[in-house]
Amino acid sequence: MKLGCLLPLVAIVMIIGGGQNVYTSLKNRKVTEVEVSSLTTSKPDSEWLRLKGGKLDVMNATYTSSFGVGDATEIYVPLVAPSEDSSESIIRVLVLTKDPDLLQFTNDSRKLEKDNASAAQVLKFLAESAEKMQVTRDVEGLVQYGIEGGGKKERKIRGLYTNLSPDVIILEEGTKPSMMLGLGMFIGGLALGFVLLIFSGKKGKTA
């Protein structure tokens, strides 16, 4: 793609992304606490959530890596009620996380598989890592939607599960609304678009 085509696209993405961040910040002045068990009957009308009383089923997580190779850099982990099994029950929440301990567990698991580890090695690893296989704790972050959701990566992740709820929540752990970031992106996008319009006008006159 030529630079002349890329810059207008960057400006549009900045304007839309910045506007979405501003909207999210205005709508979500404080975090909304939700019990995971309540998601079976209703979906929260907020994007900044603290999900309580759930279990991260790390054994059923999927991952992404830089350029599709190497170690996992982030993982998508089903969050279900403690009594549920994410391989059988409907998954209503996927948590996108970069938790160092969970990433390490995922990468160590992949290495065992890649190295064709023996049954004894696998059992030893699982025994030593039992507390990381299923983690019960609150999870806080922003729901991905709009320009942040529905991309190629998300569609690929969705395709790896057969039991996802049609309106599954993908929550990016550790994120929160940022009015300053949104305004910065929005104004920067407008400024870039303005410069491109002036440049294209001058270029047209000299043609």
- Kindly list the averaged pLDDT for each block of 10 residues, start to end, along the chain of length 207: 71 91 93 94 92 94 76 92 91 94 91 87 89 93 85 79 90 94 92 84 62
> In the structure encoding, which two tokens stand for residue 140, read together?
């806080």
pLDDT for position 1: 47
This prediction has a pTM of: 0.84
Q: Are 169 and 95 in contact (CB under 8 A)?
A: no
Report the 10 Å Cβ neighbour count for 185.
21
1 to 4, 54, 100, 157, 177: CA distances (angstroms):
8, 44, 36, 27, 32
Query: Residue 60 in contact with residue 80, Cβ under 8 Å?
Result: no
Cα 35 from Cα 13, distance rounded (Å): 34
